[in-house]
Amino acid sequence: MSRRPDDKTATLPSAATASELRGGRMTTVGVPTEKSQDFANSSRRLLRRLGPERPKAYLVLVLAFVSVALVVSGPKVLGHATNLIFEGLPSTGGTGIDFAALHRVLWLAVGLYLAGYVLSFLQSFLLAGIVQRTMLGLRAEVEAKLHRMPLSYLDAQSRGDLLSRVTNDIDNVSQSVQQSLSQLLTGLLTIAGTLAMMLWISWQLAIVAVVTVPLSIFAMKTIAGHSRGRFIAQWQHTGALNAQVEETFTGHPIMKAFGRQREAQEHFDATNSELFKAGFSAQFISGCVQPATVLIGNLNYVAIAVLGGLKVANGTIGLGDVQAFIQYSRQFAQPLTQTASMVNVLQSAIASAERVFDLLDAPEQSSDPITDYLQPKAAAGRIVFDDVSFSYRRDAPLIEHLSLVAEPGETVAIVGPTGAGKTTLVNLIMRFYELDGGRITLDGRDITTMRRDELRSQIGMVLQDAWLFGGTIRDNIAYGNVTATPEQVLAAAKACYVDRFVHSLPKGYDTVLDDDGSSVSAGERQLITIARAFLADPSILILDEATSSVDTRTELLIQRAMAKLRGGRTSFVIAHRLSTIRDAHTILVMDSGRIVEQGAHAELLAGGGAYLALYNAQFSGAAVDVDVEVV
């Protein structure tokens, strides 16, 4: 992930595009999404993702139907057992209880409940697989989407919020869908099954039970409508808090160096407070659904008990049937209550799904040409900028009508003040951004007609910010060429003077680095990245302040290594130490996206222009213009 080039001001490292310093306090921006689908559309879109699992979903439906049918039959069977006991009592005119028949009925009830449990277990097992495979595909799709996103999109987003969408939001969708689908499916089937059994026993009592359905639905719909927006806000604030925590701890040394702990704590407290308010509001409002439905269910239970007792008293219904009906009324109310409790879970899941879908719907970078990619032969390295124009924002042009030719094997040095467009220039060669006008060619071929991986396989890049991943030093060097032999890795390490400090480490080349490379110094990290580029053996080399993090003695050693590395390669070198570029074939002095001077070192000094002013600022003891430094 890259931040906007030529904008390396003294902010926290991860905050270049996610926050601004306002009044001494970091303010996270870019958290809200640009659009939000409504609940129904997002729900349908989420359910459509289960399409590939349709055969297993049908099997789950069948298992759920049979399981519910067996369980729903239980109260009716137990009611028959009650009738056998009641009718066999001498006080009711019976001649004795038929225990053989009673045992058969009770064993039948046990069998029904056991069979229902086994089928319910199989249903849950299959449903878990369906949901998790769907989430597996969703995570893979999001990861692939991120690789297709233009850097301009990533530059404009908070890194922490993006991470929250990829991890927290998808995880919330996974857990919520897994929990809610099973209960909703079982609940709806249970409602249908118990309603059928209640109608069979007594349609009058069934009408009383059914009255609670529209009341419960009305309560759920009313409360859910108020909670949805709060769940969206909750997950937006979660992303904002995640972004701020990631930013603060990434730049922890800088925060402490500038004594900004109190401001960072205040900002965290403010964001955390907003998350608390949104989360409390969402959970409280959605949590009111279950008590409301429980109250309605209890009132219904009382009504059925009273009316059922009256019907038993006048002999229109048996005691066992009333017992079964009361059980059914509880079974009828329970799935309604469970459905109500699932409302807040679903609201949270859909809110997270909307954030993930917003990411999936974001515009992608232009497609690569449809060609069969073969490992290309090494390019000669002739780079031509033909009337190139580019801007990060349409209303703020940066590079306008720039033309430049870099011949094969030449070293082109680029200098100039902050924001002049130096790093932007080399990023355009890499096609990190698309041109507004003109074209760039490699060996006469427009780079937009090349696949990006084909183009970038010809280019090696060493940035001012040394990027290392969690792994051994050997692995980090071999990242430049995964097919390299151990001997080639060692040769690259020696050529770039990595070998000089590796042997002082306990495990040598097998020393494991943190993902931020904190176990080695900044200069040593830079040497490792230079060795990585050396091992890649590219036709074109881009060095963006590659020696800025090393001491003077190490810089001299790296200059020798760079001289060997640049041999026979077209090289673009961005530098603020003008002493490092004296041997460049061409030096470009840029200002406001334009080349204001161009020539060799001695020629530009004799010209008495902008380059001479930069040179004197560094070497004549004059007051140093901070804009000389490349950012």
User: Picking from 128-142, 372-386, 598-612, which range would have the lowest pLDDT averaged per residue?
Assistant: 372-386
- Enter the CATH code of domain 42-360: 1.20.1560.10
Q: What percent of the chain has pLDDT over 90?
A: 2
Nearest to 473 by CA among 452, 503, 444: 503
Distance CA 519, CA 524 (A): 10
**How far is residue 304 from each of residues 44, 208, 318, 441, measured CA to CA in Å?**
38, 7, 14, 83
Band of pLDDT at residue 372, cut at 50, 70 and 90: low
What pLDDT score was predicted for residue 375?
A: 54
Scored b (16 or more CB within 10 A) or e, 373-395 reads eeeeeebebbbbbbebebbbeee
Band of pLDDT at residue 27, cut at 50, 70 and 90: very low
User: Picking from 28-32, 52-56, 600-604, which range would have the lowest pLDDT averaged per residue?
Assistant: 28-32
Distance of CA 526 to the CA centre of its chain: 29
Task: Tell me the CATH class for 376-458+542-550+572-631.
Answer: alpha beta
pLDDT, greater one: 32 or 149:
149
**Apex 110 CA angle, 302 and 120, nearest 5:** 85
Is 90 exceeded by the pLDDT of residue 440? yes
Average pLDDT value for residue range 89-114: 75
Task: Look up residue 233 and give its amino acid.
Answer: A
Residue whose pair of structure tokens reads 């130490």 in the numeric block: 577
Distance CA 573, CA 413 (A): 5
What pLDDT score was predicted for residue 179?
A: 78
User: Picking from 335-339, 380-384, 542-546, which range would have the lowest pLDDT averaged per residue?
Assistant: 335-339
What pLDDT score was predicted for residue 439?
A: 92
Average pLDDT value for residue range 125-143: 88
> What number of CA atoms fall less than 13 Å from residue 155's CA on the CB side?
14
Average pLDDT value for residue range 468-494: 87
User: 269-288: per-residue pLDDT in tens?
Assistant: 888 888 888 887 777 776 77
What pLDDT score was predicted for residue 358?
A: 86
Nearest to 364 by CA among 567, 184, 549, 141: 141
Is 60 exceeded by the pLDDT of residue 378? yes
Is 80 exceeded by the pLDDT of residue 85? no
Q: Read out DSSP for 269-315?
A: HHHHHHHHHHHHHHHHHHHTHHHHHHHHHHHHHHHHHHHHHHHHHTT
Distance CA 235, CA 172 (A): 10
Kind and range of the H or E run holding 415: strand 411-415
What pLDDT score was predicted for residue 5?
A: 39
Is 90 exceeded by the pLDDT of residue 65? no
Query: Sign of torsion, CA 439 445 449 454?
Result: negative
Average pLDDT value for residue range 237-265: 73
Average pLDDT value for residue range 47-76: 83
Per-domain residue ranges of the chain: 42-360, 376-458+542-550+572-631, 465-537
Distance CA 265, CA 10 (A): 20
Distance CA 502, CA 497 (A): 9
What pLDDT score was predicted for residue 258?
A: 67
What pLDDT score was predicted for residue 14?
A: 34
Scored b (16 or more CB within 10 A) or e, 77-100 reads bbbbbbbbbbbbeeeeeeeeeeee
Task: Look up residue 163 and give its amino acid.
Answer: L
Phi, psi of 440 (to 5 degrees): -125, 135
Q: Are 386 and 411 within 8 A, CB to CB?
A: no
The mean of the pLDDT values for the chain is 76
Average pLDDT value for residue range 19-34: 35
Distance CA 570, CA 234 (A): 51
Q: Read out DSSP for 133-145?
A: HHHHHHHHHHHHH
Torsion of CA 577, 579, 580, 583, to 10 degrees: 140
Distance CA 513, CA 171 (A): 29
Q: Are 144 and 166 within 8 A, CB to CB?
A: no
The domain made up of 465-537 is a member of CATH 1.10.10.10: no
User: 206-224: per-residue pLDDT in tens?
Assistant: 777 777 767 776 776 676 6
User: 492-505: per-residue pLDDT in tens?
Assistant: 888 888 888 888 88
Tokens linked to 164: 């929250």
Is 80 exceeded by the pLDDT of residue 390? yes
Q: Tell whether pTM > 0.85.
A: no
Band of pLDDT at residue 384, cut at 50, 70 and 90: very high
Distance CA 435, CA 391 (A): 8
Is 80 exceeded by the pLDDT of residue 427? yes
Is 60 exceeded by the pLDDT of residue 373? no
Mapping DSSP onto H, E and C, the string for 573-624 reads: EECCCHHHHCCCCEEEEEECCEEEEEECHHHHHHHCCHHHHHHHHHHCCCCC
What pLDDT score was predicted for residue 364?
A: 83
Kind and range of the H or E run holding 412: strand 411-415
Nearest to 182 by CA among 112, 128, 118: 128
Domains 42-360 and 376-458+542-550+572-631 share a fold: no
Q: Are 337 and 293 within 8 A, CB to CB?
A: yes
Is 90 exceeded by the pLDDT of residue 256? no
